[in-house]
Structures are given as structure tokens and as C-alpha cells.
Amino acid sequence: MYHAIVFLPLVGFLIAGLFGRLIGARASEVVTTALLFLSCVLSWIAFVNVGFGTGATRIQLGQWFASGDMVVDWAFRIDTLTVVMLIVVTTVSALVHLYSIGYMHEDPHRPRFFAYLSLFTFAMLMLVTADNLVQMFFGWEGVGLASYLLIGFWYEKESARAAAIKAFIVNRVGDFGFALGIFLVFVLFGSVAFDGIFPRVGDLANTSFRFLGFEWHALTLACLLLFMGAMGKSAQFLLHTWLPDAMEGPTPVSALIHAATMVTAGVFMVARLSPLFEAAPGAQTVVIVIGATTAFFAATIGLVQNDIKRVVAYSTCSQLGYMFVGLGVGAYSAGIFHLFTHAFFKALLFLGAGSVIHAMHHEQDIRNMGGLRRHIPFTAAMFAIGTLALTGFPFTAGYFSKDAIIEAAYVSHRGGAAYAFLCVVIAAFMTSFYSWRLYFLTFEGAPRWGHHGHAAQAAHPVAHGAPPDHEGVAHDERSRDIEPPTAAPHEHGAHGDHRPHESPLAILIPLGVLALGSLVAGFAAKEWFIGHHYGEFWKGALFTAPDNKILNEIHHVPLWVALSPAVMMALGFLLAYAMYIRDPARPARLAAEHPVLYRFLVNKWYFDELYDLLFVRPALRLGRFLWRTGDGRIIDGLGPDGISARVIDVTRGVVRLQTGYVYHYAFAMLIGVALLITWYLTLGGAGWGGGGAH
């Protein structure tokens, strides 16, 4: 069964990738989607067998390679953590495949698209079933490759190509740290297999390791290097810049990357290595601080974004920060619980955004929307459910998992926990505000699309939060989102009667399924993930030290702590309602009153500009110097190329002397004789004569 779960998506990739042109787009869609749904059904069976039975096992596929003391196997590690990830990955991926049949129906390259989707899923399944760090790294790099292919799927667009390259390069930075961490683990433990590492963690608790001229606590250093990889893959603060730009790919890709696969890989890796992190409190503090900073930082940027997909993208970045806070404080199951629930409502929001984009004929600017609830009521209802779950409305999926992380940050005594508690509570308020802002601007109010809506917006260009042009806001390419739209909307703008329409069933069915999960997943799973049945469910798949009682302590927090997420959620909703329903002109007034702060947020804290200044431009200058000076002047001018060029020049000069005319040669001989006589008379004769007299 586990072989089928992992390799069925690979079979779909091979069929669609190799024979897509032969069998056609429709057959490619059907085959890959059917195989994913079969893998999904088998994953749910495995979840029941392992999570509620005794089905944990290790499946040996064969030996990958052996080099000295390093022996790396192909093997599946099947435990509760694995099967939780299996259902998350295969469920969301299967629904994304079905959704893509409707969303991508006009694209002529659908076989290639569905092949990439299946490759992505296969790589993620290899990652979560890995029995050792090297096999995990194989899946890790596989999802990186597939994300590059999917983000740049529309490679004719320069922005899509740039976004794909950016994602690839930023992740290389994190993956470099991850690779170093794997090397260090092997040096310390003599093994990369989890069964060879975990039992020996206690033996190395006080071991030091010299690195970069300093003595480090060995396990702390290993965990920091491994977490560096998680920062890149899960888009944490400082290595987050690729994630919003990944929206250049098709919307189903955004849902797959943000909900179930690539960005959750780092969270899964830290949870899988919980025995290492439990023995490295310094590394846990770093995880807490980075996660909390990401939760707060990304939420501030989400407040002012106007692209419907980018708002949800920054929400993903922020929620990943919550997950790492849960992992860092030692509540590993709470972090995975939020990963589990987040997959449902974040996939719902992304696919709901895709349904809106489909209805609006590829318009993505929420300032060109409004009043859509009357035209696409089902999509609006599903989007509202996703928003409720994301903001933590009582008894929805996000309510149980996000509140558990906030409470865990409060009761934890680890370094950085108090800072994390403050950040995640404030982020909960901002999450509610920007989520309801997105919903109100998209689905409520007066229509701002079509002829009449556009005319109304032209009359009041700052009515929806963008500052007027005279405020001096930089209108460069990166900050173009802050300009009020002045050109007619896309395809629909030219036809005032071309109204938005509801999406086809292939798009709506996945929305309904994900909405159901967004409502009930948290309530159904809370007792098993973080409640009284925690131990019998996880069965040791997540390790906690004997003195780690945090899952018991979160049920005994003060009342104000337990109520703080709900209060923040309600305040964010009320503020968004007041600003975008009751007084829509207020956001523009605030932006005009605080232009510096607005520019700071809308330009994403200027991280792109900072990295461009610190890394991109120096790298370009260095490359240009090496190209023009090193390659052009030195290698081509003085090296082998230069020597060969000089030889050719001399040869060509000599060849010109060989004319074949006798009188040319006679003239040259006369010149030689004249030179010889002259030398003899002036120097040679005098020297000889002097010698004779002597």
C-alpha cells in the first residue's frame, strides 16, 4: 500500500510527461487526477491503521549507496507523523488536480502542467516518508525543482521567469545550511538514518564542535544548520522573499505550494528531528524568535497588499511563523496540528481566490472588485468559511490549533517565549483585519468592475486605501500595487455587461470539500493531536523530554490568555468593517496621513531593495569585472587565447613577405648586404682594426 501511495504520482508524472502529446490533454488530466485520488484514499486508510492502530513500520526498498562508513538506504519510515503528512499532501494535491481541470482548461500545455503537479507531489511524499536525512534531502531538492518548474510554468512572462529563479536561488541559501547540517550529523553520529541518530542523542548532549574558529555546542550547531534549511523552504524571516513572488505561477500551484507541500517541509523536518531539537535549547530559542518575528512581520505586510493572491501568500508566511513558534517552545504536536488544519483553510482561500480570478477574467487587484457576493455566491460563502477558519473563529479549524500555539507560547519558559507570545497575539489581530479587509473589498460594497464601477473609481481614486499620486509615493515596479488603477480593467473592463460568473463544478467541488475540512478538522482532531489521547495517537513519533509538560500546561492558562485570540479576532473584524464598509474613505485618509509608514509596509519593509543593494548588485559587479577583466583582458588578452592570437598575427605578417616575386627577394638581399656593409664599416671594421694594432 505504501509503495502505491508514494509511486502512483510518479507514474502519473511519467505518463503525462512522456506521452502527454500522444494521449492528449484530457487523458493526461484524467490519468494524473485519478492516480492522485487513489493515492489519497490509500493515505486515509494508512492514517486510520497507524494513527488509531499499531501499523507503524519501516519498509526497506533497497540500499541506495555505501561510501565508507556511510550507508544510505531507500526506506519508508511509517509512523503517525508520516501518515498525518500523507493525508495532508495527497488530499490537497488530489483536490488541486481536480480544480486544475476546470481552472486550466484553456491552457494548451495542460499535459506538462499536470505532469509537474504529480512530480511535485511525488517529491513531497518521498520527503515525508524518508527514513534518513539523505533521502529527505532528495525529496527536499525534488520539491525545489518542481516548484521552480511550476512557478515559471508561464515562462513567456518575464515576471514568472524571474520569480522562479528567485525561489530557486533563495532556497539554495537555506539548502546550503541544511546540507552542512547533514554533514555535521554524520560526523557526530556516524549515521544519517533516524534509527541510528535518535537513540544516541543523550550520549552527545555535552559534546562540543569547533566551527569557524569557535567552540559550539555540537547539537545546537547541527540544529541551527538544519533549521537554516527550514527557514528557506518554509519562507521564514530573512529567507522569505521568494514566497510572495511565487504567486506568478498559476493559482493551483499557489495552493499546492502554500497549503500542503513545499512550505510545510521545514515544519515537518523540525518535527521529525524533535529528539535533536529537544537537546538543543539554544537552537529552540532561535526557532522561537524567527517564527515569532515572521508571524508579526508578514502580517504587517498583509495589511496593505492589493493583489488577492499576495494577501493570502503573506498570510501563509505568517501562519508558518506560528507553526515554528509551536515547535520552538516544545509543543511539537501543536505545530503539526496547525499545519494539518492550515492545509484545509489555506488551500480553500487560494482556490477560492482562483475562483474569483476566473470569474473576473484574470483580474487580481481587489480594488477592481467589490460586490461579487451577488454574482458568485458559492465562492463568496466558501471564501467566508476559509476566512473564519484563518482568523480563529470559535470551533473552526484554526480556532483550536492557533489558540493552542498562543497558549503554549505563554506557558513556555524557554528563551524568547514571552516575545513570541506578544508577537503572535498582535499577529492574530492583524490576521483578522487583513483577512476581512480582503473579503469586504472583494465581495461586499459597490462593484468597482466594469464600466460603471471603473467610472466610480476614477471619480474617487483613493477610496480604497491607495494614497493619491501627489503624496510622493514611489511608483516603481515593486511598489506599483499602491497606485490606484487608472487603466481599464482587463478583459471584462471593455465590456460593461460582461459580468462575473460562477466557476464550473470542477472548481467548486474542491472548494466545498476544503470548506468542510476547514469547519470540522480542528474539532475532530484536537483530542488526538493535543488533547488527552495525545500519547496513544502519536506513539512516540514526536519526542518530548521528560520535563516537557507543555501540552498539559496549555489547558490551565489564565482566562485572559485563553480569550486573547478571540478578542483579537473580534477587534480585527470590527476595525475592518468600520474602515471598508462603514467609512470606505478612511483607509485613504490614513495612508495620506502616514505616507512613510504606508510606503514602508507596501514595499515589504524594503527587503527586496536591501538584498538588491547588499547581494545582487555586488554580485553583478563582480561578475562583470570577472567577465571583462578576468576573461576578456587577462585570459583572452594574455592567456592561451591571447598567445594564439599573437602567433596568428605574426604568421600573417610573415606570410605577406612571401610574395613569390624574384625582384622582391633580390631587393631584400640588397638591403641585407647594405646593412652588413654599414655595420662592418661603422662597428665591425673599427673593432677588428683596433684589435690588429694592439
pLDDT tens for residues 186-228?
999 999 999 999 999 989 888 899 988 888 999 999 999 999 9
User: Minimal CA–CA distance to 442: which of 503, 533, 379?
Assistant: 379
**pLDDT value of position 640:** 66
| pTM (whole model) above 0.75 | yes
Reported as a pLDDT band with limits 50, 70 and 90, residue 436 is: very high
**pLDDT value of position 407:** 96
Average pLDDT, the chain: 87
Task: Check pLDDT > 50 for residue 293.
Answer: yes
* Interval 328-335 mean pLDDT: 94
Q: Parallel, antiparallel, or unpaired: how do β-strands 57-67 and 70-78 relate?
A: antiparallel
Output 473 or 512, whichever has higher pLDDT: 512
Task: Check if the beta carbon of residue 455 is closer than 8 Å to that of residue 577.
Answer: no
Tell me if residue 236 falls in helix, strand or coil: coil
**pLDDT value of position 214:** 87
User: Minimal CA–CA distance to 561: which of 330, 432, 331, 403?
Assistant: 403
User: Minimal CA–CA distance to 39: which of 97, 79, 112?
Assistant: 97
Reported as a pLDDT band with limits 50, 70 and 90, residue 495 is: very low
Q: Is 606 left (phi over 0), alpha (psi -120 to 50) or beta?
A: left
Q: Using CB atoms within 10 A of its CB, is residue 522 exposed (0-12), middle (13-18) or buried (19+)?
A: buried
Q: 613569390: which residue's cell?
A: 660
Rounded to 5°, angle at Cα 463 from 458 and 465: 120
- One-letter identity of residue 118: S
Task: Check if the beta carbon of residue 357 is closer than 8 Å to that of residue 379.
Answer: no
Task: Check if the beta carbon of residue 426 is closer than 8 Å to that of residue 296.
Answer: yes
pLDDT tens for residues 549-592?
999 999 999 999 999 999 999 999 999 999 999 999 999 999 99
CA 33 vs CA 13, 19, 37, 147: distances in Å? 11, 16, 6, 19
User: Minimal CA–CA distance to 342: which of 372, 322, 362?
Assistant: 322
**pLDDT value of position 470:** 31
Q: Which residues, 6 or more positions from 263, have their beta carbon under 8 angstroms from its beta carbon?
A: 233, 234, 235, 243, 257, 316, 320
Torsion of CA 241, 247, 253, 256, to 10 degrees: 50
pLDDT tens for residues 244-265?
888 888 889 888 887 657 888 9
User: Minimal CA–CA distance to 92: which of 263, 346, 270?
Assistant: 346
- One-letter identity of residue 585: A
